A = this chain, B = another copy of it.
Amino acid sequence: MTGTISGKALIHALYDRPMSGQAIEERSFQLIDEEVPAHGFSPKQWVVVRRMIHTVADFGLIDAIRFSPDALEAGTGALRSGRPIYVDSSMIRSGLSLPRLRSVCSGYCEEDVVCHVADGDVAKEAKEKGLPRSLFAVRKAIPMLDRGIAVFGNAPVALMELNRLIMEEQVRPSLVVAMPVGFVHVVESKEELMTLDVPYVAVAGRRGGSTLAVSVLHALCSLASNPVSA
Chain A interfacial positions (CB closer than 8 Å to B): 1, 3-4, 7, 9-12, 14-15, 18-21, 24, 27-28, 31-32, 54-58, 60, 89-91, 93-95, 126, 129-135, 157, 160-161, 163-164, 167-168, 181-186, 188-189, 191-192, 195, 205-211, 214
Copies in the complex: 2
The complex places the Cα of A40 from the Cα of B58 at a distance, in Å, of 24
Question: Quick check: A91 and B210 within 8 Å, CB to CB?
Answer: yes
How would you classify the secondary structure of chain A's contact residues: helix, strand, loop or mixed? helix
Question: Quick check: B157 and A11 within 8 Å, CB to CB?
Answer: yes
Question: Quick check: B21 and A134 within 8 Å, CB to CB?
Answer: yes
Q: Chain B residues near A188 (CB, 8 Å)? A: 1, 3, 10
14 new A-B contacts at CB < 8 Å, known A3-B192, A18-B131, A19-B132: A1-B191, A1-B192, A11-B161, A11-B163, A12-B164, A15-B131, A21-B157, A28-B183, A28-B184, A56-B207, A90-B94, A90-B95, A91-B210, A93-B94
The complex places the Cα of A207 from the Cα of B24 at a distance, in Å, of 17
